[in-house]
Amino acid sequence: MKFVVRAQHIVSLGGYIVERNFPYRNLILVNKSEEPIKVEIPVFSEEWIDEHRQLGLEVIPVDEDDNFLNLYRKAKADLDKFLGN
């Protein structure tokens, strides 16, 4: 299945991670480009991260000990700064 990350937007993929042995509880995707980018979901492996970084997405893994909200807010602030907002 495919999911589209709109141009210059940020999304969380926590609900699309299905592998029990996956080392992260969530992934934050940031699309800074002016084009939408299609991503494969659900996420099954760590190789997914590298494959989607090559597409131009910023992929931020969220560990069990990480504060998701802080990471999301930081990524959103970085995106806003990039866009000049």
What is the domain range of residue 27?
2-83
CA geometry: angle 75, 53, 45, nearest 5 deg: 100
**Count of structural domains, the chain:** 1
* Backbone φ and ψ of 16, nearest 5°: -105, 10
User: With 90 as the cut, is the pLDDT of residue 44 above it?
Assistant: no
User: With 80 as the cut, is the pLDDT of residue 20 above it?
Assistant: no
d(CA 25, CA 7): 24
pLDDT category of residue 60 using cuts at 50, 70 and 90: very high
DSSP assignment of 17-44:
B--TT-S-SEEEEEE-SSS-EEEESSB-
Average of pLDDT values for 64-77?
Answer: 96
Average of pLDDT values for 54-68?
Answer: 95
Mean pLDDT of the chain: 92
CB distance 20 to 43 below 8 Å = no
**Considering only CA atoms, which of 37, 35, 38, 17 is closest in space to residue 26?**
17
pLDDT category of residue 39 using cuts at 50, 70 and 90: very high
pLDDT category of residue 76 using cuts at 50, 70 and 90: very high
Q: Six-digit token pair at 44?
A: 């099954």
The whole-number pLDDT of residue 33 equals: 95
